[in-house]
Amino acid sequence: MEIEKLARKYAVKNAYEYGKANVGSVLSKVISKAPEAKADMRALSALIGKVVDEVNSLDRSSLEEEYNGYADEFGAEESAKRAASKPKFELPGAVMGKVVTRFSPEPSGFMHIGHTKAALIAETFARQYNGMFCLHFDDTNPENERQEFVDQFHKDLEWLGMGFDKEYYSSDHIEHIYSLAKRLIDKGSAYVCTCDRETIKKNRFDGRECEHRARQPAESLEMFEGMLNGDYEEEQAIVRFKYDMSHQNTTLRDPTMLRIKRATHYRQGDKYIVWPSYYFNTPIIDSVMGITDAMRSKEYEQSEALYREILSALGLRVPNIYAFSRLNIKGNITSKRKLRALIKAGDISGYDDPRLMTIAALRRRGVQPKAIRELMLNIGFSKAESVIDQAALFAENRKIIDPIAKHLFFVSNPIKVVVEGTTQKDVRLKLHPHGRANEFREYRTNNTFYISGSDAETINPGESVRLKDLFDVQIETSTANHIRARAASDEVNASIIHWVADPYFVECSVSLPGDLLTDEEEYNPDSMKVEKGFVESYARNLKKGDIVQFERFGYAVLDDKERMDFIFISK
């Protein structure tokens, strides 16, 4: 009997929503609510068939009446369904309070939005499980890394509001890495190879072993000491992990563990000339530093086997490893190499050029840390390849800046308007139209105004327009750079335009960053436009970094107060 009531309820809902109730649909609902009914499917479908027939023979008004009787229950079910719609961050088997994650950048360039994804994923998991979150500078290539970039990461991470429980550097652990390398050589799991680069590459591709692989541990050990002592030049000798030269997974074909780099290291100076490779270094540092769950982007997925093999060969604890997809931003790049090329060519001004997706650029452009975090949380922790539109970032950002942006009038390409038949008027304009109206910009207007060139184009002699928050004027004559108008009485449908009053204005410019790349992935020469115009004189009260909404134009941030340069944020 219970089952029949349930069937009746969902048949009514189904019929109400789709005109006629459907047996399969009602059946599904009933089973999910009362799994025990599955015991006799034949009887159940007969019952539901009967109920559905009854409900379908109801007329509309009695159907609606019956539906309304369940309205509260349906409402509760609907809202429960709508609640869980954000990407989830779950680690299978993670233990509360025991999780340790890390963000592990190489200090070889500016932090960008792609790093942020990695950092935020690691941070989110650590916080979710009430664990520890570490900052690990992975600096094992003295040719690439610089203190300046370490400093920049610190600055950007702090701005993003990321707090770390611990910070460490790969390059502080080189001695330990050496001792583990020796252990591996000694037990025959690694050897010194003196093939040239091309030979190694070719053999790896072909799955062929070289003669050095059979070298006795004692000899390799001696040669490794020689490497440490500087007996070899760069590329003359490397230490390789001895695994399987014909493994289908090519990362397991005896990868490089250590190689010679004679460049001076920004942190360690000339202390070391032999440096571990990423493949050798990362698992060891993670394991030794107590990382329980290591997330990295998908391109390392095939080397997860290697990560585990190295640690088991060493008898070290193996952390859990996870992969996530790289973040791509439509029409933008984060590649160091490409960025450098654009800077060199003079196409962009530097790493904080407002068109870029570096953290420095985003900060300069008035993007709020919270907006970046929200975006990442919406994107989630999946391995599916994706291209995000900048609009998604700016939509998050707009929610945050809208309440704080001061509203001002900016007229681009100004056209002078002289209004006859009007006199001085004191106006008070709200800085935050929807906030408590306790802040104003105040002007004493006379008969001379400026309006945007684009607005001037759309109005013709004889028509009336409304100067926003002021009064209507009727256009008398209009030339390319001068409009004569007359005060007019208010008209219901007058179009509303913004203005600045003479002499209460400052000259200014607004840079409008667009997509850096064309659809063909080439540099877009039109990616930065500049509009010049007048902003009302209240702008003198702004500070660098203040965010405004230029009404009918968009959000902007003051970038250079001296020159009154603004950067456009978004509509």
Partner RNA sequence: GCUCCUAUCGUCUAGCUCGGCCAAGGACAUGGGGCUUUCAACCCUAAAACCCGGGUUCAAAUCCCGGUGGGAGCACCA
Site residues for RNA, window 179-208 (CB under 7 A)?
195-197, 200-201, 204-205
* Residues across the chain: 571
Q: Which of 146, 338, 552, 561 binds RNA (CB under 7 A)?
A: 552
For the bound state, the minimum distance from the C-beta of residue 171 to RNA, rounded and expressed in Å, comes to: 10
Burial of 56 (0-12, 13-18, 19+ CB in 10 A): middle
Applying CB under 7 A, which of residues 159, 168, 279, 504 lies at the interface with RNA? 279
Tell me the closest approach of the beta carbon of residue 42 to RNA, in angstroms. 9
Contact between 571 and RNA per CB under 7 A = yes
CB closer to RNA out of 83 and 96? 83
The count of other CB atoms within 10 Å of the CB of residue 341 is 13
What are the E-state strand segments in 56-162?
100-103, 132-137
Q: How would you classify the pairing of strands 410-412 and 528-536?
A: antiparallel
Judged by CB, which is closer to RNA: 106, or 156? 106
Q: What's the CA gap between 511 and 566, in Å, rounded?
A: 6
Stretch 6-65 residues interacting with RNA (CB under 7 A): 14, 18, 20-22, 24-25, 27-29, 31-33, 38, 41
Size of interface with RNA, in residues (CB under 7 A): 97
Interface residue with RNA, options 298, 444, 529, 532 (CB under 7 A):
298
d(CA 267, CA 139): 9
- The residue among 329 and 356 lying less far from RNA, judged by its C-beta, is 329
| Among 36, 59, 211, 385, interactor with RNA by CB under 7 A | 385
Residue 335 C-beta: closest distance to RNA, Å: 10
DSSP symbol at 451? E
Under rule CB under 7 A, which residues in 206-245 are in contact with RNA?
234-236, 238
Residue with tokens 């779950």: 90
Least distance between RNA and beta carbon 420 (Å)? 19
Q: Which is nearer to RNA, 353 or 549 (CB)?
A: 549
Q: Which pairing describes strands 505-513 and 565-570: parallel, antiparallel, or unpaired?
A: parallel
Can you tell me the distance from the alpha carbon of 399 to that of 371, in angstroms, rounded to the nearest whole number? 8
Residue from 301, 347, 352, 502 that binds RNA (CB under 7 A)? 301
- Contact between 379 and RNA by CB under 7 A: the answer reads yes
Q: Which of residues 524-543 bind RNA (CB under 7 A)?
A: none
Q: Which of 399, 425, 540, 563 binds RNA (CB under 7 A)?
A: 399
Regarding 389 and contact with RNA (CB under 7 A), the answer is yes
Nearest 5°: phi and psi at 163?
-105, 140
The CB density around residue 128, as the number of other CB atoms within 10 Å, is 16
Residues numbered 91-150 forming contacts with RNA, rule: CB under 7 A:
106, 138, 140-141, 144
Asked if 380 is part of the footprint of RNA (rule: CB under 7 A), the reply reads yes
| Contact between residue 397 and residue 569 where contact means Cβ atoms under 8 Å apart | yes
Q: Tokens for 82, please give them.
A: 């709508």
Question: Using the rule CB under 7 A, which residue among 101, 189, 277, 511 binds RNA?
Answer: 277
Nearer to RNA, 143 or 158 (CB): 143
Contacts of 569 by beta carbon, 8 Å cutoff, 6+ apart: 365, 366, 367, 394, 397, 401, 547, 554, 555, 556, 557
CA of residue 165 relative to chain centroid, distance: 23
Between residues 154 and 336, which has the closer beta carbon with respect to RNA?
A: 336
Query: Under the criterion CB under 7 A, does residue 370 sit at the interface with RNA?
Result: no
487 touches RNA by CB under 7 A: no
Stretch that binds RNA, among 149-157, 382-390, 479-487, 539-547 (CB under 7 A): 382-390
Out of 1, 39, 96, 384, the residue judged to bind RNA by CB under 7 A: 384
Q: Residue 306 has which token pair?
A: 């290697």
**Torsion over CA: 289, 291, 295, 299 (sign):** positive
User: Which secondary-structure segment (H or E) carries 539?
Assistant: none
Between 353 and 531, CB nearer to RNA: 531
Nearest to 445, CA basis, from 506, 500, 483, 507: 500
Residue owning tokens 């190879």 = 193
Binding residue (CB under 7 A) for RNA from 124, 152, 171, 251: 251
Site membership for RNA, residue 422 (CB under 7 A): no
Q: Which of residues 444-463 bind RNA (CB under 7 A)?
A: 454-455
469 binds RNA (CB under 7 A): yes
Using CA atoms, how far apart are residues 541 and 506, in angstroms rounded to an integer? 11
Backbone angles phi, psi at 168, to 5 degrees: -150, 165
Residue 423 DSSP symbol: -
Among the listed ranges 211-219, 347-355, 393-401, 438-446, the one in contact with RNA (CB under 7 A) is 393-401
278 is a site residue for RNA (CB under 7 A) = yes
| For RNA, the closer CB: 353 or 485 | 485
Kind plus residue range of the DSSP H or E element containing 309 = helix 304-314
Pick the closer one to RNA by CB: 236 or 563. Answer: 236
What the block records as the tokens of 19 is 């005109």
How deeply is 456 buried, as exposed, middle or buried, from its count of CB atoms within 10 A (0-12, 13-18, 19+)?
Answer: buried
Closest CA relative to residue 512, chosen from 454, 468, 477, 556 = 556
CB 562 to RNA: min, Å: 27
Stretch that binds RNA, among 380-388, 473-481, 507-515, 538-546 (CB under 7 A): 380-388
Give the closest residue to 185 by CA, choosing from 142, 143, 228.
228
